[in-house]
Amino acid sequence: MSAAAQTVPAGTAPVPRNLVLPVLVVATSIGAIGCGFVDLAPNRLASGQPMMLWDAAGIGFTATLSACGAMLLAIECAAPRRWLAYLAAAIAGFALVIVLAAAGHSATILATGAPPAARVSLGAGFWIVLGCAALALIDALQRAEAGAATQFVAAALAATGFIALVETGMFDALSLAREFAARRDVFAAALARHIVLVAAAVGPAVPIGVLLGLTALRRKRFEAPLFGVLNLLQTVPSIALFGLLIAPLSALAKAVPGLAALGIGGVGPAPAVIALVLYALLPVARNTLTGIGDVSPAAIDAARGMGMTPGQVFWQVEVRLALPVLIAGLRIVTVQAIGLAVVAALIGAGGLGTFVFDGIGQYATDLVLLGALPAILLALAADFLLRLLAAALSRRYAP
């Protein structure tokens, strides 16, 4: 595509080198024009009246966002330059902040004239514009070939910027913030419980999964039955698995005195953690099998021939060379466990899922979001950090 752009003779209309940004800008325009930016409802349970971006946030925000879109299109038509990609990233990041500010501003203005029970929720238009701005930022950073350090700094800047915006109170009038304010005391505990559930599942799943993968690798006849069982486990729906564990665990808690005192029973965190461990085994074992199995046999032969002990061969050669693949497995199970732990709230395990199921029960969408959004952000953060780690480990010697 870039080669084609370079052959365009001087004087003809500029041609975009890449369709990603134009598509995002067009999608943003359609989203902003066709869908309500925020919804105004008489109370938290009723469905709202959509409000357009320019009506809700005013002409200033609308014009700023349009200018950002126009600048991104202009950059896309210019000659490819690394600093231009960074400029595009900065503009996309700025647009991201402006979208958030526009939402906060709309809510503040709409709430001042409305009765106390009225709620301002985020509309489809907001989500479309926000999503497109985020994608444009990621695309620009990729185009700039930003290294792991730059990506980390960009993510840290975005996170601190968002927290700073929240601290100013500019979102306080939004329905989502009011749901949060009403549950401020339990939110931190639910978030902490969610992280503990995930850690308690991933922690044991990694050594068990690695051992299973190694067993399949060293004793070929175990491979087919082992992965047959793990694959089967993966196909059991999560709600069913949580439910299936209730009966045996309550029986166990009844039979063995003292277990109940430790918090082990048919409902609660124990069955949730067990189910999450079972789901995590397949990706860990699979990546161990392929990761260690793909280590060059010549390197292992040489390591043994040089006089490394079996332990040294394993840790210094096999594990070290398989590490990017092993970390990819860890990434998959961490993200998966963060998502599945939401469902675990159904059997009383607690965590962010509590808000989701309360919200569904009360028909309050913003309460569902209060549970879902932090879970999504948590998964994105875990995915991002483990991706950076794997990239940093493989970059230096990858052919």
Partner 1 sequence: MIDISRVSKTYDGRAVVDDLSLEVPQAAFCVLLGPSGCGKSTTLRMINRLVDFDSGAIRVGGEDVLSMPPEMLRRRIGYVIQSTGLFPHWRVADNIATVPRLLGWPRERVEARVTELLALLRLDPKAYRNKFPHQLSGGEQQRVGVARALAANPDVLLMDEPFAAVDPITRDALQGEIARIHRETGKTILFVTHDIEEALRLATVIAILDKGKLAQLGTPLDIVENPKSDFVRDFVGAQGIGLKLLSVRKVAERMRAGENAEGEPIAEDATLAEALGQMTARHCDRLAVANDAGQVIGTIALADLVR
Q: Decide if residue 305 touches partner 1 (CB under 8 A).
A: yes
Q: How far apart are CA 341 and CA 272, in angstroms?
A: 7
Q: Decide if residue 261 touches partner 1 (CB under 8 A).
A: no
* Residue placing its CB nearer to partner 1 in the complex, 309 or 362: 309
Q: Decide if residue 165 touches partner 1 (CB under 8 A).
A: no
Q: Which of 98, 303, 349, 372 binds partner 1 (CB under 8 A)?
A: 303
Q: Which of 301, 315, 361, 377 binds partner 1 (CB under 8 A)?
A: 301
Q: Tell which positions 370-399 bind partner 1, by CB under 8 A.
A: 396-399
Q: How far apart are CA 2 and CA 11, in angstroms?
A: 18
Applying CB under 8 A, which part among 25-33, 175-183, 279-287, 305-313 lies near partner 1?
305-313
Q: Which of 49, 151, 52 is CA-nearest to residue 93?
A: 151
Burial status of residue 197 (CB atoms within 10 A of its CB: 0-12, 13-18, 19 or more): buried
Q: How far apart are CA 176 and CA 225, in angstroms?
A: 48
Q: How far apart are CA 196 and CA 269, in angstroms?
A: 10
Q: Decide if residue 220 touches partner 1 (CB under 8 A).
A: no
* Residue placing its CB nearer to partner 1 in the complex, 272 or 321: 321
Q: Tell which positions 267-296 bind partner 1, by CB under 8 A.
A: 296
Give residue 102's identity as a one-letter amino acid code. Answer: A
* Residue placing its CB nearer to partner 1 in the complex, 318 or 366: 318
Q: Decide if residue 255 touches partner 1 (CB under 8 A).
A: no
Q: How far apart are CA 22 and CA 18, in angstroms?
A: 8
Q: Which of 60, 309, 361, 377 binds partner 1 (CB under 8 A)?
A: 309
Q: Decide if residue 317 touches partner 1 (CB under 8 A).
A: yes
Q: Which of 96, 80, 84, 87 is CA-nearest to residue 3?
A: 80
Q: Which of 19, 46, 156, 299 binds partner 1 (CB under 8 A)?
A: 299
CA-to-CA dists, residue 275 to 169, 199, 255, angstroms:
40, 13, 21
Beta bridge partners of 397: none
Q: Decide if residue 9 touches partner 1 (CB under 8 A).
A: no
Q: Please enumerate in sequence order all residues whose Cβ is within 8 A of that of 91, keeping only pairs 6 or more positions apart, or say none.
A: 68, 71, 72, 75
Q: Which of 30, 90, 302, 360 binds partner 1 (CB under 8 A)?
A: 302
Q: Decide if residue 304 touches partner 1 (CB under 8 A).
A: yes
Name the site residues for partner 1 (rule: CB under 8 A): 296, 298-309, 312, 317, 320-321, 396-399
